[in-house]
Amino acid sequence: MTITYTSDHFKEQAHQALGEPNLQRALDRTTTLLQARRARAYAEFEEFESTRDAASRIKDHVLRHLDHYLERFETAATAAGCKVHWARTADEACAIVVDLCKAARAQTVTRVKSMLGEEIGLPEALDGAGLERVETDLAEHINQLAGDRPSHIVIPALHKTREEVSELFREAHGHGRRIEEVAELVQSARLALREKYFKADVGISGANFLIADTGSVCTVTNEGNAELTMELPRVHIVTAGIEKLVPSMDHAAVLLRVLARSALGMEITQYTTFLTGPRRPGDRDGPEEMHIVLVDAGRTELLADELAPILKCIRCAACINHCPVYGQIGGHAYGGIYQGPMGSVLTPMAASLAKAKDLPHACTLNGRCVDVCPVKIPLTDLIRTLRERIWQQQLTDRPTRWGLGLWGQVVRRPALYRLASRISARALRVWARGKPMIKRLPLDGAWTKSRDFPTPEPGGTFMERYRRGER
């Protein structure tokens, strides 16, 4: 199902987020911690740069030969007993999954967190088809209870404080207690979810990697819910973006080395699972059927685009964790599924540039995201490319266009430019009335709403003073 984007309300949403004390507390706690943990993990990992190079090259290689690896994967997965489905669009993908659930006469489906699932609107589609959807990831369980979307691709309930979660569980889990301890909260969720695992007819997961030569699906998680979701029900459905392919297990291993370190500062996640086909005769567990839905949803088109490097993304969230804008406003303000730098590239492609034109602009271009990205995606370059398109398609707001247009004319003419500098510096000095800092700037008050502005020094601009012989 096509999901609703509210990125066109970015400014209001960001403003609101800035004023939410609980969100602010949650953000402060988490982003600082994640940054410190990542730094520590890499300080202890000597081959970081070379592994990062290798990870980046693997992704580049796969994207260049995607058709080849897709075919290989289909052949291998089919040989292992899987049924591979192809979905061109989000809607097609959802329809395939819903049909599979219906064919399995499913009433209850368990789901383990998958950003691709969120991207294609799978939760909404399952609900719409009248299926009981059980989110088994602790954070997604919280979001399901609260009716929230993920606010972070790795920590989907990052926006919730422990206190808020306690309040949610008190009602939803029917024990009426206000739990303080995290471990107890986890236990409360486990108890509530346990019976569902056994009741479920279908389990739906995503994939972190698709292994082309063996047809395996690799998932990484920390809670163990993925295994219960993928192995207990009769039918297991995987939805995965076509960019998730890697040539072999060895290649996946390289990416695994940087994924958990970048995401949570861990050497490796608690659970790293490779699934190859459904249950075989003699196997003790596993589903009877395993379906893999390979989703395009705009990816092939992106391959031919200047923005193609974003397809290398392994969804580690390092760029998000180090983004100063995300650190202030959290994930929901972006109004889509993905957040922070990677979201500011992906959302305009998914929602439309016109709708999400704020996202590429709501960035200081400080470049920390590029520094921490384990697959070397030039995020700031991609963000600038989007800005260029926004400008070319005349989506920039009119005052900015005119302002920059006028400035552009002046700045191309050095003599005129020097004159304009002289005039503005003088005008500002008059306006400042002898004070060293200006409390309110003329024309545009956005700067001085919260900041003072330094009064120009006396005596004129540098250029005129220098020409007068001053040194």
Partner 1 sequence: MNDRPAKSEVALFVTCLADAIRPSTAFAAARLIEACGFRVHVPDAQTCCGQPAFNSGDTATARALAERFVEAFEPYAYVVAPSGSCMGMLKTHLPHLFADDPAWLERHAALAERCYELSSFLADVADFTPEGRYAGRVTYHHGCSALRELGVRTQPERLITALSGLSYMPLAHPEACCGFGGTFCVKYADISTAIADEKVDDILATGAKTLIGGDLGCLFNIQGRLHRRGADMEVLHLAELLAGSTDTRPAEASGS
- Applying the rule CB under 6 A, the residues between 357 and 376 that interact with ligand SF4 are 372-375
CA atoms within 13 A on the CB side of 160: 25
From ligand SF4, partner 1, none, interface partner of 396 (C-beta below 5 to 8 A by class): partner 1
Q: Establish if 52 lies at the interface with partner 1 (CB under 8 A).
A: no
Coil/strand/helix, residue 72: helix
CB of 139 to partner 1, least distance (A): 25
CB of 441 to partner 1, least distance (A): 10
Nearer to ligand SF4, 317 or 390 (CB): 317
Kindly tell me the number of DSSP H helices and DSSP E strands found in the chain: 22, 12
Task: Say which residues have a Cβ less than 8 Å from residue 402's Cβ, sequence separation at least 6.
Answer: none
Count the site residues for partner 1 by CB under 8 A: 70
Coil/strand/helix, residue 7: helix
x-or-dash string of contact with partner 1, 310-349, rule CB under 8 A:
--------------xx-xxx--------------------
- In the list 315, 332, 355, 357, the residue contacting ligand SF4 (rule: CB under 6 A) is 315
Q: Establish if 317 lies at the interface with ligand SF4 (CB under 6 A).
A: yes
CA atoms within 13 A on the CB side of 104: 26
CB of 344 to ligand SF4, least distance (A): 10
CB of 343 to partner 1, least distance (A): 15
* Residue (of 142, 137, 131) closest to 199 by Cα position: 131
CB of 465 to partner 1, least distance (A): 6
From partner 1, ligand SF4, none, interface partner of 456 (C-beta below 5 to 8 A by class): partner 1
| CB 225, CB 190: distance < 8 Å | no
Rounded Cα distance, 236 and 233, in Å: 7
* Phi, psi angles (nearest 5°) of residue 323: -90, 120
Using the contact rule CB under 8 A, the part of the chain among 66-74, 179-187, 243-251, 446-454 near partner 1 is 446-454
**Class of residue 198 by CB neighbours under 10 A (exposed 0-12, middle 13-18, buried 19+):** exposed
From partner 1, ligand SF4, none, interface partner of 288 (C-beta below 5 to 8 A by class): none
x-or-dash string of contact with partner 1, 402-441, rule CB under 8 A:
--x--xx--xxxx--x---x--xxx-xxx---x-xx----
Structure tokens, 226: 């993925």
* Residue (of 133, 156, 153) closest to 143 by Cα position: 156
Give the residue ranges of DSSP H helices in 358-469: 358-361, 368-372, 379-392, 398-411, 414-432, 462-467
Residue 289 CA to its chain's centroid (Å): 31
- In the list 60, 349, 381, 431, the residue contacting partner 1 (rule: CB under 8 A) is 381
Q: Establish if 319 lies at the interface with ligand SF4 (CB under 6 A).
A: yes
Nearer to ligand SF4, 314 or 383 (CB): 314
Residue 221: strand pairing partners: 271
Coil/strand/helix, residue 110: strand
Question: What is the binding site for ligand SF4 (CB under 6 A)?
Answer: 262, 313-319, 342, 372-375, 377, 379
Question: What is the binding site for partner 1 (CB under 8 A)?
Answer: 11, 14-15, 18, 324-325, 327-329, 361-368, 370-371, 381, 384, 387-392, 396, 400, 404, 407-408, 411-414, 417, 421, 424-426, 428-430, 434, 436-437, 444, 446-463, 465-466, 470-471
